[in-house]
Amino acid sequence: MNGQKVIRPYMGISMADINDEIIQKLNLPASIQGVLIMQVMSGSPAAVGGIKAGDIIQKVNGKEVNAGTDIQSIVEHSKVGQKLEIQIWRSGKTGTVSVTLQAKP
């Protein structure tokens, strides 16, 4: 409002909510929960943290996520420089990666 730039946290992913069509197309387990990562921007915090296209984010900082809006809300309420612990499902295995948020370019 006073001419200063608003700095927003950024993770650098595009995502899609998991639905029956995605489960069938990707041959995922019917019980899978989370958000599908469609694209990871090169050099982004997500890329540096090890997130890859095709991963499914299931939890962020211990909180289950079932829609892209869940992840957006967590990122929006975080601070630049904050580290998020992200549980992902990749090729049938669950793992955890750390992503340090950066300022949105």
What tens digit of pLDDT does each residue of 41-69 get? Answer: 999 999 999 999 999 999 999 999 999 99
Give the pLDDT of residue 1: 53
What is the pTM (predicted TM-score) of this model?
Answer: 0.90
Measured CA to CA in angstroms, residue 2 lies from 5, 6, 103, 104 at distances of: 9, 10, 19, 20
Q: How would residue 7 be classed by pLDDT, with cut points 50, 70 and 90?
A: confident
Give the pLDDT of residue 71: 97
Exposure letters 49-85 (e unless 16+ CB within 10 A, then b): bbbeeebbbbbbeeeebeebebbeebbeebeeeeebe
